[in-house]
Amino acid sequence: MGHLELHNLQVQFGGLRAVDGLNLSLEQGELRCLLGPNGAGKSTTLDLICGKTAASGGSVIFGGIDVTHMAEYQRARHGIGRKFQVPSVFKDLSVIENLEVARSQHPGVLASLRVFRSRLSGRMDEVLTIVGLHDHLHVKAGNLSHGQTQWLEIAMLLMQDCKLILMDEPTAGMTVQETLKTADIFNSLRGSHTMLVVEHDMSFVRVIAEQVTVMDQGKLLAQGTVAEIERDPKVRQAYLGDEETADAAS
Amino acid sequence: MDSVLNQVFAGLSMASILLIVALGLAIIYGAMGVINLAHGEFVMLGAYSAWFLQEQFGLGILVALPVIFLMVAVVGWLVERGVVRWLYHRPLDTILATWGIGIVLQQLVRLGIGPESRYVARPEILDGNVILGGLVMANYRIFLIAFSAAVLVGTWYLLTRTEFGTKLRAIIQNKEISECYGIRPERVYALTFAYGAGLAGIAGALITPLVSVTPGMGTYVVVDAFLVVIVGGVGSLIGTAVASGLVGTASAAFSFLLNDTLGRVALLLAIILLIRFRPMGLFPDKVRR
Amino acid sequence: MNTTFKTDIIGYGLFAALILFVVPWAFAFDGFELNTFARYLTLGMVAMALALSWGYAGVLNLGQAATFGLGSYVMAMHLKLRASASSYNGMPDFMGWTNVEVLPWFWEPFHSLTFTLVAGLALPALVAWLMAVFMFRGRVTGVFVAIITLAFLVALQLVFISEQRYTGGQNGLTGLAPLELFGWRADAYSTSFYYMVAGCLITALALGLAVVRSKVGLILRAIREDANRVRFFGYDVARYETLAFCVSAALAGWAGMLYVLVLEFASPTYMSVPFSLGIVIWCAVGGRESLVAAALGAVVVNMLEGRLSSIFVEGWFLFLGILFIVVVLVMPRGLYGLFSDAVQRLQTVSPRDRGGKVATKATPLSATPAVKEEN
Q: For B180-235, what is each residue's pLDDT tens digit?
A: 888 888 888 999 999 999 999 999 999 998 888 999 888 878 878 888 888 887 76
C158 phi/psi in degrees, rounded to 5: -60, -45
Confidence of residue A154 (pLDDT cuts 50, 70, 90): confident
Q: Read off the pLDDT of residues C279-334 as tens digits, 9 standing for 90 and up.
A: 999 999 999 989 999 999 999 999 988 888 777 777 888 888 899 999 999 888 88
Domain coordinates of chain B in residue numbers?
11-219
For position B69, what pLDDT does the model report?
95
A59/B59 Cα distance (integer angstroms):
71
Q: How far is B123 from chain C (nearest CA, A)?
A: 34
Interface test with B, best of C150, C283, C327 (most B CBs within 10 A): C150
**In chain C, residues 309-368 whose CB comes closer than 8 Å to chain A:** 352-353, 356-357, 359-360, 362-364, 367-368
The Cα-based distances of B143 to A12, B9, B126, B148, B206 in angstroms read 49, 12, 8, 8, 10
Domains: count for chain C: 1
The overall longest dimension of chain C from CA atoms, in Å, is: 87
Confidence of residue C354 (pLDDT cuts 50, 70, 90): very low
Report the residue from A88, A97, A172 with minimal CB separation from C371.
A172
B108/C contact by beta carbon, under 8 A: yes
C54/C231 Cα distance (integer angstroms):
20
Extended strands (E) in C195-327: none
CA-closest candidate to residue C79, choices C208, C217, C264, C235? C264
Q: How far is C99 from chain A (nearest CA, A)?
A: 49
Mean pLDDT of chain C: 85
Q: Is the dihedral of CA A133, A135, A138, A141 positive or negative?
A: negative
For position C117, what pLDDT does the model report?
94
Can you tell me the mean pLDDT for A161-169? 86
CA-closest candidate to residue C77, choices C156, C176, C150, C171? C176
Confidence of residue C256 (pLDDT cuts 50, 70, 90): very high
Beta bridge partners of A82: A166
- State how far Cα B246 lies from the chain centre: 15
For position B140, what pLDDT does the model report?
87
Q: What residues have CB less than 8 Å from A228, skipping those under 6 apart? A: A222
Extended strands (E) in chain C: 180-181, 184-185
Instruction: State the Cα angle at C74 between C69 and C79, rounded to 5°.
Output: 120
For position B281, what pLDDT does the model report?
61
pLDDT tops 50 at residue C89 = yes
3-class DSSP assignment, residue A82: strand
C328/C172 Cα distance (integer angstroms):
33
**Is residue C367 a part of any domain in this protein?**
no
Counting other chains too, the contacts that A232-240 makes at CB distance below 8 Å and 24 or more residues apart are: A238/A36, A238/A37, A238/A40, A238/A214, A239/A37
For position C306, what pLDDT does the model report?
82
B113/C contact by beta carbon, under 8 A: no
Highest mean pLDDT among A41-55, B117-131, C36-50, C338-352: C36-50
In the CATH hierarchy, which top-level class contains the domain A1-78+199-250?
A: alpha beta
| Rg of chain B taking only CA atoms, in angstroms | 19
Q: Identify residue A68 by its one-letter amino acid code.
A: T
Q: Are A73 and C374 a contacting pair at CB < 8 A?
A: no
Instruction: State the Cα angle at A120 between A115 and A124, rounded to 5°.
Output: 100
Confidence of residue C366 (pLDDT cuts 50, 70, 90): very low
Report the residue from A88, A111, A145 with minimal CB separation from C226.
A88
For position B20, what pLDDT does the model report?
93
CB C120 within 8 A of CB C72: no
Interface test with C, best of B261, B268, B273, B274 (most C CBs within 10 A): B268
C240/A contact by beta carbon, under 8 A: yes
Report the residue from C1, C352, C371 with minimal CB separation from A173.
C371
For position B287, what pLDDT does the model report?
38
Mean pLDDT of chain A: 83
pLDDT tops 80 at residue C58 = yes
For position C352, what pLDDT does the model report?
45
Q: Read off the pLDDT of residues C153-208 as tens digits, 9 standing for 90 and up.
A: 999 999 999 988 888 888 889 888 888 888 788 888 888 999 999 999 999 999 99
For position A224, what pLDDT does the model report?
86
Q: Identify residue A109 by its one-letter amino acid code.
A: V
Confidence of residue C1 (pLDDT cuts 50, 70, 90): very low
A117/A103 Cα distance (integer angstroms):
12
Instruction: State the Cα angle at C302 between C297 and C303, rounded to 5°.
Output: 100
Can you tell me the mean pLDDT for A175-179? 82
pLDDT tops 80 at residue C356 = no
Q: What residues have CB less than 8 Å from C45, skipping those under 6 apart? A: C200, C201, C204, C251, C252, C254, C255, C258, C295
C271/A237 Cα distance (integer angstroms):
68
CB A23 within 8 A of CB A219: no
Q: Are C233 and A104 a contacting pair at CB < 8 A?
A: yes
Confidence of residue C67 (pLDDT cuts 50, 70, 90): very high
Q: Read off the pLDDT of residues A35-87 as tens digits, 9 standing for 90 and up.
A: 888 878 888 899 899 888 888 888 999 988 899 889 989 999 988 988 877 76
Those residues of chain B that have pLDDT short of 70 are 1, 235, 279-289
**Is residue C276 a part of any domain in this protein?**
no
Range of the domain at C81: 3-269
For position B201, what pLDDT does the model report?
95
